[in-house]
Copies of this chain bind each other. A is one copy, B any other.
Amino acid sequence: MAREIALTPLKWQVGYAESSDAIPGKLAQASVPGAANLDWANSIGMPEWYRDANFTEWSWMEDVFWVYLADIPKQALEQGQSLWLVSGGVDYQYDVYVNNELRYSHEGMFTPFELDVTADMGSELRIAAWPAPKDPLGVKNNSTEAAQCVKPAVSYGWDWHPRLIPVGIWEETGLLIRERGYIKSAEVLYSLSENLDLALLEINASISGEGNARFQLYSPDGLLVVECDADQKPRIENPILWWCNGYGEPSLYSWNVTLYDNGQVLDKSSGRIGFRSITMEMNEGGWQEPYGFPKSRSPVPITLTLNGVPIFCKGTNWVNPEVFTGCIGKETYRPLLNLAKGAHMNLLRSWGGAIVNKDSFFDLCDELGLMVWQEFPLACNNYRGTPHYLGALEPEATSIIKRLRSRASLALWCGGNELFNSWSGMSEHSPAIRLLNSLTYSLDPLRPFLLTSPLNGMAHGNYIFKFEGQEVFQTMPKAHFTAYTEFGVASMSNLEVCLAATDMENLFPFKSNPITRAHHAFGMWGPYDTWSRVDTIKSYFGPEDSLKELIDWSQWIQSEGLKCIYEEARRQKPYCSMALNWCYNEPWPAIADNSLVNWPAIPKPSYFAVADSCRPRLASARIPKFSWNPGETFEADLYLLNDSLEALPPGEVAVSLAFCGKTQYETRWAHNGTEANKNLQGPTVRFLIPKEKLSPDAGSLNARPESKKKYEILTLRLESGPLTNEYRLVLYL
């Protein structure tokens, strides 16, 4: 629900102290919502946290209490009015004092709270946030320290996120005058008939004090379709359905609940409804597996079916767009989500190491037709089922479920990230997983719940172009999974983003140093040069002349690698029904990582490659390798990929191979079209690359006599109107 009346901000100051009930000796101005440690760093003029390795100076801030202070201003209230402190959430464990009296305590950032402060006008309000929680069994300065809290683990340090743990008032918090009657909460749920032609609404409006609540519902085109008392259960016949991006309009009805008393409006709440059914159905061929005996179970059904239509989920893994999550607002989300829609994506996996996003994220996803796979805040740790942990998880998960369950865009819940793998060591026996399954079932029974990702049939990885001598070009066609829910090809960031992270002198010659390591280019996975992977780049191209050249090569590899994976996953439809790369965005200027979009919302070239590969209809080629030599027979298996709900008419695809500045071969594939939502396998084309030495065009950028391997760009082009697609490969000279 949304309140119709905005909160009145308070004038906050913040400082640090040794205990929850102590008053800081020194105070700085605080931004609310925001982060106390960020306020403090700004106030004392610490250098930019996102440059160089400056963030390493912040570690002392993890272990103090951050205390916010504000005066509750005196104001004249009318008869029956009351004054409330209303907060969307404080990160992470905190106590609320009024004039030194403890009035509220909570552990967990996802639960809103409110306090009646009518009798406290003129008093001092204090919110004391405790030090960052750290599991005593965790490794110091490592994300395993997050294993006994419901705080996103990523801020404890990740291979694409600095160790920087935000703390403080992170959601909207302020004062609110309430009338003699008010709406404590309002929510509209519904059930849809099996053939989607009838919706039964359930209006959950909780009223305090006086007044009668009335309900209004408006159709997507703004017509009033229901008006009734809020205790009714209205029926909507033939509701206009909500569809995800690429399959139809994300049509939203809007509702309001208004509290009247003797003709006076006392309070008002509003929200939106997208009518749709979402189920998880078995992937085609899944029930036939495994074959033979001894026989295990079939894969987990993972074909997301929207309004009865099996969707091929093309999407990405969404991570925190900012390190200081309290600073995230709708304008942080908007450009990123617009880009996701523009890349033909329809599903965002909101990864369990990150926050559960703010309401404005879901407002935009509802509007853009971007479905959300929402994980609970568990990732890559063994969240042991201690009474303390389960006691913190239960209310937080309950708050998350209740806040989001009415969202059209929310497609499924998931227990968290990679919990059933060795590095987490959890399983379906883990109490935390059983609790989350129970809570989602009791509070939101119609929405699918995945215990974790991956489950059997599904897969994560790899995250690099070449592993144990195998390129993704070889690995992916051999892979057989129902859903690729994390895969990536690392690359370097755009040049201007690298320069936002540090000065050129730290970047070129490009090598491992404290700055490039801090920004994830080196040393992230043991001794490897993750995520810059310069070894792989140089194995194809030889040494670079400039940072720009290295970045170009790196981003070329990322672009073609991701094209290969997305399109191969699509070629494996309908057994495969999902392709989500790791990852979409990033929270600060990485020098290298897996993102498609640099911080804050700057697309890398791979973004455009992925956007091309995710078009609902396109011609596609399975290509056996990235680099070619003269005398080899180039080959590619051709496909038409069609995820749209319309058949593709018969037509022709012109297939051409170009190198050394011109088209060398051309052939045509005449096809009979394909049904709606079905792919078509076409011919395998083969072209002999001449053995004789190819003469590089004199003007070619790529004629690099000083590099070990001189190369040309080998372009495979499938030309067919809007289906046209192109692959840029390497040809050695």
Contacts and interface: CB of A to CB of B under 8 A. Distances in A.
B437 A296 contact: no
Contacts of A34: none
A26 interface: no
Interface stretch (A450-458, A543-551, A622-630): A450-458
A295 B461 contact: yes
A456 B454 contact: no
A422 interface: yes
A704 B293 CA distance: 35
Interface string A466-482: 01100000010001010
B296 A457 contact: yes
A367 to B, nearest CB: 28
Contact of A296 (B292, B431, B459): B459
A280 B282 CA distance: 28
Contacts of A636: none
A697 to B, nearest CB: 38
B293 A421 contact: no
A151 to B, nearest CB: 24
Contact of A437 (B288, B438, B459, B479): B438
A347 B719 CA distance: 64
A506 B440 CA distance: 58
A307 to B, nearest CB: 17
A70 B437 CA distance: 46
A468 B291 CA distance: 12
B457 A429 contact: no
A319 B542 CA distance: 68
A481 B441 contact: no
A351 interface: no
Nearest to A478: B294
Interface stretch (A198-206, A243-251, A297-305, A595-603): A297-305
A293 B441 contact: no
A484 interface: yes
A293 B427 contact: no
A539 interface: no
A282 B425 contact: yes
Contacts of A18: none
B431 A461 contact: no
A454 to B, nearest CB: 5
Contact of A467 (B280, B293, B467): B293
Given A293-B461, A296-B458, A441 B452 contact: no
A454 B296 contact: yes
Interface string A419-432: 01110010111010
A460 interface: yes
Contacts of A435: 441
Contacts of A695: none
Interface in A400-450: 420-422, 425, 427-429, 431, 434-435, 437-438, 441-442, 445, 448-450
B459 A421 contact: no
Question: Which of A295, A441, A462, A468: most chain B CB closer than 10 A?
Answer: A295
Contacts of A481: 294, 296
Given A280-B429, A429-B280, A429-B448, A297 B437 contact: no
Contact of A455 (B296, B441, B448, B479): B296
Given A429-B280, A441-B431, A449-B434, A460 B421 contact: no
A505 B298 CA distance: 45
10 contacts: A287-B425, A288-B422, A293-B467, A295-B454, A296-B455, A296-B457, A428-B449, A428-B451, A434-B437, A438-B441
Given A293-B462, A429-B448, 13 more contacts: A293-B459, A294-B462, A295-B454, A295-B459, A296-B454, A296-B481, A297-B452, A297-B456, A428-B450, A428-B455, A431-B445, A434-B438, A435-B441
**Which 6 interchain pairs have the tightest Cβ spacing?**
A294-B459, A293-B461, A293-B462, A287-B422, A297-B420, A438-B438
